[in-house]
Amino acid sequence: PAKLTGFLDAASKTVKLDDELTLPRMLEIADSVKGLTAKELKGITVPVEAYPADRNRVQFKQPDARNFFEAVRSDVDVRPTAGPSSAPKVANEKVRVQVLNGTTETGKAVQVADELAEQGFAVTQVGNAPATAVTAIRYARKDAANGPAYADAVAARLSKDKRTPVAGKVTPVNPKPYATKAAQPPDGPVIQLVIGADWPGVRVVSAIPGSLKDKVVDSTTNPCL
CATH 3.30.70 is held by the domain 92-195: yes
Nearest to 181 by CA among 137, 91, 115: 115
Is pLDDT larger for residue 28 or for residue 98?
98
Name the band, by pLDDT with cuts 50, 70 and 90, for residue 102.
Answer: very high
Q: Are 122 and 177 in contact (CB under 8 A)?
A: no
Q: Greater confidence, 125 or 83?
A: 125
pLDDT digits (tens, 9 = 90+) for 178-194: 975 555 678 889 999 99
Please give the C-alpha separations between residue 4 and each of 13, 18, 21, 41, 114, in angstroms, as whole numbers.
14, 20, 16, 21, 43
Q: Determine which of 12-21, 77-86, 198-207 has the lowest per-residue pLDDT on average.
A: 77-86
**Residue 43: which residues within 8 A CB-CB, separation 6 or more?**
216, 217, 218, 222, 225
- One-character DSSP codes across 2-32: HHHHHHHHHHHTTS---TT--HHHHHHHHHH
DSSP string over 134-169: S-EEEE-GGGTTTHHHHHHHHHTTBSSSPPPPEE--
Query: What is the predicted pLDDT for the residue at 23?
Result: 85
* pLDDT band (50, 70, 90) for residue 28: confident
The full set of domain ranges for the chain reads 1-40, 42-79, 92-195
Rounded to an integer, the average pLDDT of 1-17 is: 83
User: What is d(CA 131, CA 133) in angstroms, rounded to the nearest whole number?
Assistant: 7
pLDDT value of position 85: 47
pLDDT digits (tens, 9 = 90+) for 54-82: 989 999 988 888 877 777 766 666 555 54
